[in-house]
Structure 1
Amino acid sequence: MFSIDERFRGLPANREQVLSLYQSINSPHLAIPGKPAGPAQAFVLGLRGSGGFAVFIYLYLSEAQDCAVYVPGRRAASQEDYQQDEAAALGFVESMGFMMDNANFRGLPAAHQDELLKTLPVFYKDPKLVPGASRSRAEEKRNASTNLGRLLSSF
């Protein structure tokens, strides 16, 4: 039902387009075909388009600053089909080990919705543009090693 579409690097949307948003509360280690293995975050995003409704699965690989976007077999679903697709998407990511939480996007105040649109990786055109993504894991390890070295040399 869902398949990876390499053309998608993100799912930029405006507030009015977002029907639902689920976010993982854990980060299991995944091996996605064609991507480096590592911890991942999952997002299930329901969007309203001009032709109907669609559910997308977005997996964010923070260490690699990469993503995988799973698209549904049908992009313009009816309301009833949309609900079935959303349930299937949640089942799919839960089968990979993700524990999902409903962000209740539609019930949030507009300011909080805008904040989510600006901070969550799923809404960026490219995962390399996500705030904080510029620091690589190697840089973090180097900084930690440098700080540890300075601490030990102070004795």
Structure 2
Amino acid sequence: MFSWKKEMTRLEVPVGRVLKLMQSMSDVQVALPGLTGQMATAYLCAYAGQRGVRVAVALHLRENHQLAFYLNDGGEVARDKVGGPLKDGIRFAESMGFQLDEIDLQQLGEAERTARWASLPLGRGLAPLQRPAAAPAQKPAASSAIAPSPEAAEELVAPPTPAEMAEKRAGLLENLGRFLASL
């Protein structure tokens, strides 16, 4: 079982203690108690604690721009017993419709591993979403060009950097290779 820890806003774990990390292959519509239904990305993270291993499932809620952390009940478990909570975490995420894929942090060099962890919202948390102040009503321009509405402008997202695209491409090729090798 996993319980929602509403007080958690980030996973305060250095990358060196991350034992297993998975991310959903696509976003899924979720509805959490007290929040509107919205698209979310799921992460599963097993990390070393003080006396054992803890498993967390985190949902990155896109509309609310926040993280929802679910931790395995029972606290930390011995390393040789973490298989059960890991399977439970995967089943928990899958029960919401997510398909998880391994992020092989251990295969990366130390600098790459640190950069990859820092790029994820889990450890750094999310800054509160700032909504732009309402602009005073303006008369439409006489030109024939169509300007995006303020609502549409909020939805615009910066394109990924070339480094991010290269990293995603490398991950895709690695996973494709594993898939083809399994056939």
Unaligned runs of 5+ in 1: 146-155
Q: Which amino acid aligns with 1:141?
A: A
Native 8 Å contact 1:29 1:39 kept in 2: yes
2:63 counterpart of 1:89? no
Unaligned runs of 5+ in 2: 133-148, 157-183
The structure with the largest alpha-carbon Rg is: 2
* CA–CA separation in structure 2 for the residues paired with 1:107 and 1:5: 30
CA RMSD of aligned residues (A): 2.3
Could you tell me which residue of structure 2 aligns to residue 55 of structure 1?
55
* CA–CA separation in structure 2 for the residues paired with 1:101 and 1:135: 33
Q: Residue 143 and residue 104 in structure 1: after superposition, are their counterparts in 2 closer, same or farther (change >3 A)?
A: closer
Could you tell me which residue of structure 2 aligns to residue 128 of structure 1?
127
Q: Which amino acid aligns with 2:3?
A: S
> Which of 132, 136, 152 is 1:141 aligned to?
152
After superposition, residues 15-30 of structure 1 pair within 5 angstroms as 15-30=15-30
Q: Which has the higher contact order (CA 8 A, sep 6+)?
A: 1
Native 8 Å contact 1:39 1:63 kept in 2: yes
Q: Residue 78 and residue 144 in structure 1: after superposition, are their counterparts in 2 closer, same or farther (change >3 A)?
A: closer
2:63 counterpart of 1:98? no
Identity %: 25
2:115 counterpart of 1:115? yes
SS of the residue 2:8 aligns to: coil
SS of the residue 1:26 aligns to: coil
2:14 counterpart of 1:14? yes
* CA–CA separation in structure 2 for the residues paired with 1:140 and 1:68: 25
Could you tell me the TM-score, scaled by structure 2's length? 0.69
